[in-house]
Amino acid sequence: MVKSQSSTLIRCPLPDVYGFVVTDFVRNYPRWSPEVQKLTPLSSGPLAVGWTARQVRIDQGRRSEADFRIIALEPQRHVCFKGIKDPFVINYFFEPQEGQTRLTFSFELAKLNFAMRPFEKLIRLAVKDGTERVVRDLRLLVERELGQKKTD
């Protein structure tokens, strides 16, 4: 199993950050995760447990497709995505902190296929770098955009 978690403090209130990440997920996810070349909802309506989507990603030149579903959703607190065929789980946790939001992102790859096992150490490093990049990019994007809204 390969697992990593990163956290950041975003200088915006929790409802705004949650809305940016969860309510506007389809619009915003490819923006904070530029590896996502295409995101196609397979379910209609807002995000809810059971909602599914397909993503096309290009990671270090390698194209992949993955379908995923929401397996947990606690409004203003947590959302969890799980690969339908691929063994990954992604969590976003939201905690209020004095008018700001602590965002914690975790990625877990349940198993590596046999051909990838010799590269496990490199994969662990890439996953750690990836979780750190996600929270950094999300923080910068949210603060820039939501900060502009407040001054408009």
Render pLDDT for 7-39 as a digit per residue (tens, 0 to 9).
999 999 999 999 999 999 999 999 999 899 999
| Number of residues that this document lists for the chain | 152
User: What pLDDT was estimated at residue 117?
Assistant: 57
User: What pLDDT was estimated at residue 119?
Assistant: 54
| 83, 67 contact by CB (below 8 A) | yes
Render pLDDT for 56-98 as a digit per residue (tens, 0 to 9).
999 878 898 999 999 999 999 999 999 999 889 999 999 999 9
Domains plus CATH for the chain?
Answer: 2-151 (3.30.530.20)
Write out the two tokens for 128.
């750690």
H/E run at residue 108? strand 100-109
Instruction: Check whether 118 has a pLDDT greater than 70.
Output: no
Give which of 113, 96, 124, 129 is closest to 9, Cα–Cα: 96
117/78: higher pLDDT? 78
Q: Rounded to two decimals, what is the model's pTM?
A: 0.86
